[in-house]
Amino acid sequence: MWKNTLFYEVKNNPLIPGLSLVRFQCMEMIARVALDKYLRSKQTTSAVEALSRLLIDMTPLLESYDSNVWRWGVYICEEVDLMYKAWKVVLEAVYQRFSVRKSKPGLPKFMCQEEFMDLCVQAGLINESFVAREVGICFSLAQTTEIDEVNNTKHLEMSFVEFLEALARACDKANLPDNNPARPLASKIEAAMPLLLKLCPRQLQETFQVPEN
């Protein structure tokens, strides 16, 4: 099933890694598993019924990866909004610095996943609570869904608004400085902002006034 799913007519497409599943292939893989698990064993009588049954079985797992639960329940609130407004000039400077590797001249800048990884590493956000492999998850969950991930690259190009969410997810997981999961997200972001300030141009570091609580 894995080999059959990986087949793609267009060769050497950088958006389709040869040994990994992209989203449309993952959906096909789920369908193949459903047919093999339920239709082939005659537990169901049709492909639709088999797929429906597998999706019902997978519902608890799928719901645990629902990015909107965290987005609407934790991230989108007045406290986070005020914190980002207070540190906006720092956030913009950091975004500009880490949005050059794949941005083309004359076009809007964007941050790629490698640059977001560099930012998290250089800022010191990587720790026991937030390991390097989770950086890509924060990046992906913050991205707007791209319908065609085979011919378009928008899902790999993080805008400033998407960067703010990805950074908030990283701060939430890094949980600086005292690893207290009960602290509100705004407090976790505030603890990380001085680390980002150190990545800004020297002039900004010397002139920026840290907001008072």
191 close to 146: Cβ distance less than 8 angstroms: no
Longest alpha-carbon distance in the chain: 71
Q: How far is CA 23 from CA 102, 119, 142, in A?
A: 23, 26, 16
Angle, to 10 degrees, between the axis of helix 78-86 and the axis of helix 185-197? 10
**Residue 178 neighbours by CB distance under 10 Å:** 7
Contact residues for 169 (Cβ-Cβ < 8 A; gap 6+):
70, 75, 137, 138, 141, 142
Of 13 and 104, the one with more pLDDT: 104
Average pLDDT over residues 149-176: 92
Tens of pLDDT, residues 91-101: 999 999 999 99
Tens of pLDDT, residues 70-94: 999 999 999 999 999 999 999 999 9
Q: Is the pLDDT of residue 213 over 70?
A: no
The pLDDT of residue 44: 94
pLDDT over 90 for what percent of the chain? Answer: 67
Q: Which helix (H) or strand (E) segment is 208 a member of?
A: none
pTM of the model: 0.85
Taking alpha carbons only, the member of 94, 142, 141, 137 closest to residue 118 is 94
**What's the rounded Cα separation, in Å, for the pair 117 and 100?**
14
Contact residues for 192 (Cβ-Cβ < 8 A; gap 6+):
123, 125, 167, 170, 171, 174, 176
